[in-house]
Amino acid sequence: MTVPFATSARSTVGLEWELMLADGATGDLVGRAPEILAVLEEKTAHERYTVTGELLTNTVEVTSGVGDTVAAAVDDIADAIGAIREVSDPLGIELLCAGSHPFAQWYDQQVTDKTRYHKLIERTQWWGRNMMIWGIHVHVGVEDVNKVFPLINALAVYLPHLQALSASSPFWAGDRTGYASNRALVFQQLPTAGLPWPLKDWAEFERYMDDMIRTGVMADATEVRWDIRPAPRWGTIEVRACDGMSTLPELAAVAALVQVLVEHLSRELDEGRELPTIPPWFVRENKWRAARYGLDARIIVDADGTQLPVREHLRDTMDRLADVAVELKCAREFAGLETTLTQGASYARQVLVADAAEGDLREVVQHLIREFRAGPTLREHLAQFPH
């Protein structure tokens, strides 16, 4: 079958951020997305951003327009959050984000009343009902369909870096899991989710889609839920590996890393160079290590099996690609990665709060609510860095 890949401008950026809705007093999730969305639908009809529902009624998703820069996309996200606040604040509903809610239970949640969601739950049963997960998706424009799978295969080397930076799901249904990102391992239980198949070109992807549709596995390419996938409708590569970021500056930093990596690798292809990859068994091991240990993971960084601390390899990568970040006008957002490396990712901050509160996970939720609401705005955060 033919899967058309839309035209898009090279290295443009789009962002999606899934947000939880919680009761301000108890911190528990509330299934009130439908009433918030009903109010916002007309108000936001002509904005660059969108605010939509998700699988569960306790979630809203904010999506940017297409940004020439990370800052432009993040501004859209900030505007969307402001619009939600106008509706949610008077209702006593708080916003927060992490890969998982520390104590909520799946059986207390409601599925959004859409056929596609009901079909998903019917097919996946217990695993589907347990998809209480929140993430971010970073889209980067690719101008040539022939680049898509070489780029995806090379980006797989950096999946553990992205997963470790964003890891924010150390608790699950009231339990301390021992994982930095429990979400990463839960999400891959869906039949079309997990690591991307190492396909060599677009024609092989079209054959894959033909097989999947012909055998009834999926209806179209939107049901490919890989950690990195092509988004044919938009002409982008979409990185979906990350847990939900807990603050806007962290979202901006990870988006900058994805944009810079894609542009760097695209330039290597332009120069006729073969992109470095690692065997799929190393990719799989790296995913587990990053999910388990977060930024303390040692990862496999090349086909020879060389192992390095993910922090060290990430800093080396940042030094190597700093000039690309300057050219893409995201140098200050890119520099924000150092804040996470120095101060710890969300999973580590949540564990510290839980320890200080003698394991009371309600305090962890209040911490996440405070971080989301009162943490630095992106502009305040970027003021720390030179122009």
Tens of pLDDT, residue by residue over 2-14, are 999 999 999 999 9
User: Of 142, 138, 157, 119, which is closest to residue 277 (Cα–Cα)?
Assistant: 157
Mean pLDDT over residues 284-307, rounded?
Answer: 98
Instruction: Write out the two tokens for 377.
Output: 């705005």
Mean pLDDT over residues 346-373, rounded?
Answer: 96
pLDDT digits (tens, 9 = 90+) for 119-138: 889 989 999 888 999 999 99
Lowest mean pLDDT among 35-39, 253-257, 287-291, 379-383: 379-383
pLDDT digits (tens, 9 = 90+) for 62-93: 999 999 999 999 999 999 999 999 999 999 99
Reported as a pLDDT band with limits 50, 70 and 90, residue 291 is very high
Phi, psi of 184 (to 5 degrees): -60, -35
Concatenating the DSSP letter of every residue in 214-274 gives HTTS-SSGGG-EESEEEETTTTEEEE--PBPPSSHHHHHHHHHHHHHHHHHHHHHHHTTPP
Phi, psi of 21 (to 5 degrees): -110, 125
CA distance 364 to 370: 10
Which residue shows structure tokens 């990370």?
Answer: 70
Instruction: Write out the two tokens for 128.
Output: 């589907």
Mean pLDDT over residues 339-367, rounded?
Answer: 96
Q: Say if residues 354 and 171 touch (Cβ distance below 8 Å).
A: yes
Reported as a pLDDT band with limits 50, 70 and 90, residue 381 is very low
Q: How many helices (H) and strands (E) does the chain have?
A: 15, 13
| pLDDT, averaged across the chain | 95
User: What domains can be seen in the chain, in order of their start residue?
Assistant: 13-382 (3.30.590.20)
Q: Say if residues 375 and 346 touch (Cβ distance below 8 Å).
A: no
Does the pLDDT value for residue 376 go beyond 50?
no
pLDDT digits (tens, 9 = 90+) for 318-348: 999 999 999 999 999 999 999 999 999 999 9
Q: What is the pLDDT of residue 116?
A: 85
DSSP three-state, residue 20: strand
Four-point Cα dihedral 277, 282, 284, 288, nearest 10: -120
